[in-house]
Structure 1
Amino acid sequence: MLRRGLLRDYSSALAMLTRVLDVILVCFAGWLAFKLRFHGINRPPMMQAYLALTIIGSLVVSVVFPPLSIYKSWRAKSVYAPAGRALLGWCIVFAMVIIALVVVHEADIYSRLWLGFWFVLSALFLVGLRFVVYWVLRELRSRGYNRRPVVVVGAGLQGENLAERVHEADWSGLEVLGLFDTPEYLHAYNGDIPRYSIENLPEFVTCHQVTEVWVAMPLERSGDLRQIIALLRNMSINVRYAPDLFGLSLLNHGLTEIVGVPMIDLSASPMQGINRLMKALEDRLLASLILVLMSPVIAFIACGVKLSSPGPVLFRQRRHGWDGQEIVIYKFRTMYVEAEAEGPVQAKRDDPRVTPFGRWLRKTSLDELPQFINVLQGRMSIVGPRPHAVEHNAQFCDMIDRYMLRHMVKPGITGWAQINGWRGETDTIEKMQHRVGHDLYYIEHWSLGLDLKIIFLTLFKGFVHRNAF
């Protein structure tokens, strides 16, 4: 029978096994790609070169993956975290291999199709391994195996909520053994988890082989941290502080280290570091491709705008961009000249200021095409919160909570709010609140996968809509 702490005892061996399997899977993917590419050929030329490159790639995996924290514990986190990191690591390894081939002038001897097969198959195997390991561990933990004992210091509402969350997430393998606090706080706790005086914490941790101590106290009790740290100063365990942030309206919260000082992010942009680079590459590549493919349509629309009414082809408007900085965005002109001589006013259904040709452009959202130029300029992204006129921002920023946090990322041509139906005229506060709520959800949950999902759904939900007028 499997002992309940066995997997915890051999967690390092599990990580080592995963490392070995990664190397084996990359080698197997190279062999399988070779079979698929050269099927029916008895002995393809340069077969040894393909074998050598496969072995080199697997060795690079063994060197590159550990520094990327691919083998650290992902307990209590989504499977997409280890899978995504493994995929990123393989992309880095493959890019290094390709660059090395180009530098040594050996790229021409390898089949492009084989390289493509090797990349895709390795990615599938590496990600699939994470899903399998994650599922197996989750099942074992939900059955009581691979448990990690923890205690919570803080028997108030925050500590109770934390303990309840752990109890509900039995798949995480975490088990709260007790709540500790000073006597004046213990008497108010009525839960089922045992409670103890904080003076008994060191003895309890030693007797029950506790590996984690979580301090869950309100911010005003942060001074008690000194006593807790002093009690545990001679024990080799993880002590973590969970400040009471659940009641605050946060955006993309996390931890940051600046000049060696750890800080808690209460509201922060996700577009930092590698995320910013990936977002920029996504925007530039897709915008360039779309502008090339749509160039005949753009030329046709430009002629239509010019012939439909006197005035310029493009309409320029000041909007707020990233960090609230003012930018100028482009659209095909859909209104008669001087339509906004007295200031911008949101378009309404059957608006007399809109030209007949412009009404068709608005209905199909084709008037937004010039904004791909803004994307190439770095002013906008393909996906993000829609930019509002400067005057509208001034109107709503004091009326809607966290309204200006929409500008923590670049504005987009399409977005999460648009594909969920919150587009067009916002003639009530409730409509704008829904739009802002969807924009903040996007910022909080941003990923390349979410961007691609929004772009795909825009093809079906983003062009023609009842609120597009």
Structure 2
Amino acid sequence: MDETEKKGGYAYLIDWIIRIGDLCLINFFFLVVYLVFKDTDTFSHSLHYREKMIAFLLINLCYFIVSSFIQFHISFNIAYLEKIVQRSSYFIMSYALLLTAGSSVFNIVNIRVVPWLIGVFVLCTLFIGWHILFRILLKSYRRRGYNYRQVIIVGGGSNGIKVYEALIFSDFGYKVMGFFDDNLDKADNMPNYLGSTDGIQSYVKSRKIDEIFCTVSANQEDLIYELVRFSEKNMIRFHLVPEFHKYIKRRFSLHFVESIPMLSLRYEPLQHFMNRFVKRSFDLVFSGLVLVTVFPAVYLICGFLIKRSSPGPILFRQKRTGIKGKEFYCYKFRSMRLNKEANSKQAVEGDPRVTRIGNFMRRTSIDEIPQFINVLKNDMSVVGPRPHMSQHTELYSSIIDKFMVRHLVKPGITGWAQVSGCRGETKTVDEMEERVKRDVWYLENWTFFLDLKIIYLTIYNAIKGEKKAY
């Protein structure tokens, strides 16, 4: 196989393989459903040839309709696992709703809510599994040197080196051919110096370069303009990489006011109404179910044991800092004996104030269950940064720069920091900074499926028991 064939690596077939795989999976799934349930009353009547053909056409037509609106981006050079899961799930939900509507119009299936939900869940799981498997295989294929894009970097300064280090992972599908820069003093610092910028155009044409990453300073306007013009004329993707990392080392969010680009310090998914609607809807449903089913039994059992362990109320109220710094009363099962330091001193390992039942509730997170009342009241969310006592907010906001950023979203019963190792007492400022860092990461990377992942890890850790929960 010559270099050109290796470079392409059957790229034109990749999207077709994904679509054919999708259709095979979906058709096989519904074939199994039909064979299993054909003798039951799941179908409105015995399906003859005409009804079978209508069902077959609906199953495949609905796929093509939905796929025209929702793209998977599996074959993109850079595609994140969470995004693949999210898009695949949205696809199946949209597909299931459209197919259900079509089946109802032609009176093919008797829709029952529970079997329908189970079927959608199974299909969604299979669909996500297939897409993840294909992405893993594609990354492995690229790692072996196939299906890559040849790129060059213009500018050999620190910005160019950072771009190079980000692109050299071969499973992203990029092959960095080298650097162009007019400053010969930088040549020794570049992994592969190709020459001055005068030679870019001839090199790009002779080597069939796919993309150009320009990292030169903004004052080289003539060079940038010429590269843009050349790239567009020769159908080459051009990327301008500004040197913002010198003074702010984080992801930016790019917006436009008319044609004027504006950079925000961070991208916040929960600024979008639809994302807030999804999160709040889930909070209401989930907290409602917990308060109706689990909470009454837990309240009776834990309430009895709390009363026996020490005098005082069953529930404990404490002022915490909520969204945008607004204070609210956070509810918990009382796990300590009544004491004057309850609203100022953090619980520590072996804390004598904690009762025996309190110790058990803290290790299993049962003491947090009353906070579903806070979720219902809209003070909190099921998932979000854990709320701190008001005194601690004042203290840490004065010594940790990003501390108040975590209050841009509602606090949660559980959060990313807690399930990723930052639970329990914070003995040093460094430990609190690490917790804040993870809370801010959650704010910038929120997805509904990340919330589900955190809930799963919280339940798993509660069953397993956590050493830092005291």
What TM-score does the superposition give when structure 2 sets the normalisation length? 0.81
> Deviation at 1:396?
0.8
Q: Which 5+ residue runs of structure 1 have no aligned equivalent?
A: none
1:229 and 2:250 aligned? no
Residue identity in the other structure for 1:123: C
Write the mapping of 1:320-469 to structure 2, written as runs, cut at 5 A.
320-334=321-335, 339=340, 344-348=344-348, 361-362=361-362, 364-462=364-462, 465-469=466-470
> Deviation at 1:413?
1.2
Q: Distance in 1 between matches of 2:285 and 2:113?
A: 21
The 10-residue stretch of structure 1 (446-455 or 107-116) with the greater mean CA deviation from structure 2: 107-116
SS of residue in 1 equivalent to 2:152:
strand
Q: Distance in 2 between matches of 1:240 and 1:386?
A: 39
Write the mapping of 1:89-108 to structure 2, written as runs, cut at 5 A.
89-98=91-100, 106=107
Q: Distance in 2 between matches of 1:82 and 1:365?
A: 32
- Structure 1, residues 173-197: CA drift from partner, whole Å, max 9, x if none? 211223122x236545433313322
* Distance 1:258-1:34 versus aligned 2 partners, 3 A rule: farther
The 10-residue stretch of structure 1 (418-427 or 146-155) with the greater mean CA deviation from structure 2: 418-427
What does residue 70 of structure 2 align with?
A: 68
Residue identity in the other structure for 1:179: F
Contact 1:321 1:327 in 2 (8 A): yes
What does residue 4 of structure 2 align with?
A: 4
SS of residue in 2 equivalent to 1:373:
helix
Q: Distance in 2 between matches of 1:130 and 1:348?
A: 45
Contact 1:151 1:177 in 2 (8 A): yes
* Distance 1:137-1:394 versus aligned 2 partners, 3 A rule: same
* Distance 1:431-1:137 versus aligned 2 partners, 3 A rule: closer
Q: Distance in 1 between matches of 2:354 and 2:8?
A: 67
Contact 1:334 1:354 in 2 (8 A): yes
The 10-residue stretch of structure 1 (309-318 or 326-335) with the greater mean CA deviation from structure 2: 309-318
Q: Distance in 2 between matches of 1:459 and 1:222?
A: 51
SS of residue in 1 equivalent to 2:270:
coil
Write the mapping of 1:105-116 to structure 2, written as runs, cut at 5 A.
106=107, 109-110=110-111, 115=116
SS of residue in 1 equivalent to 2:183:
helix
* Distance 1:199-1:111 versus aligned 2 partners, 3 A rule: same
Contact 1:33 1:117 in 2 (8 A): no
Q: Which 5+ residue runs of structure 2 have no aligned equivalent?
A: none
Write the mapping of 1:43-442 to structure 2, written as runs, cut at 5 A.
45-48=45-48, 49=51, 52-70=54-72, 73-98=75-100, 106=107, 109-110=110-111, 115=116, 119-120=120-121, 122-167=123-168, 169-181=169-181, 183-184=182-183, 187-217=186-216, 221-225=217-221, 227-234=223-230, 235=233, 236-246=235-245, 253-257=252-256, 261-273=260-272, 274-294=274-294, 295-302=296-303, 313-334=314-335, 339=340, 344-348=344-348, 361-362=361-362, 364-442=364-442
* Distance 1:130-1:454 versus aligned 2 partners, 3 A rule: closer
> Deviation at 1:415?
2.5
> Deviation at 1:78?
3.7
* Distance 1:410-1:106 versus aligned 2 partners, 3 A rule: farther
> Deviation at 1:387?
0.5
Residue identity in the other structure for 2:153: V
SS of residue in 2 equivalent to 1:422:
coil
State the Cα RMSD in Å.
3.8
Residue identity in the other structure for 1:155: G
* Distance 1:71-1:449 versus aligned 2 partners, 3 A rule: closer
The 10-residue stretch of structure 1 (111-120 or 135-144) with the greater mean CA deviation from structure 2: 111-120
> Deviation at 1:447?
4.0
* Distance 1:82-1:7 versus aligned 2 partners, 3 A rule: farther
Q: Distance in 1 between matches of 2:115 and 2:354?
A: 55
Q: Distance in 1 between matches of 2:31 and 2:450?
A: 33
What does residue 34 of structure 1 align with?
A: 34
Residue identity in the other structure for 1:227: L
SS of residue in 1 equivalent to 2:135:
helix
Q: Distance in 1 between matches of 2:85 and 2:219?
A: 39
Q: Distance in 2 between matches of 1:311 and 1:17?
A: 65
Residue identity in the other structure for 1:426: T
* Distance 1:271-1:75 versus aligned 2 partners, 3 A rule: same
Q: Percent identity?
A: 31
Residue identity in the other structure for 2:457: L
SS of residue in 2 equivalent to 1:232:
helix
> Deviation at 1:461?
3.0
Contact 2:73 2:79 in 1 (8 A): no
* Distance 1:364-1:151 versus aligned 2 partners, 3 A rule: closer
> Deviation at 1:359?
6.1
Contact 2:44 2:107 in 1 (8 A): no
The 10-residue stretch of structure 1 (431-440 or 9-18) with the greater mean CA deviation from structure 2: 9-18
> Deviation at 1:271?
2.2
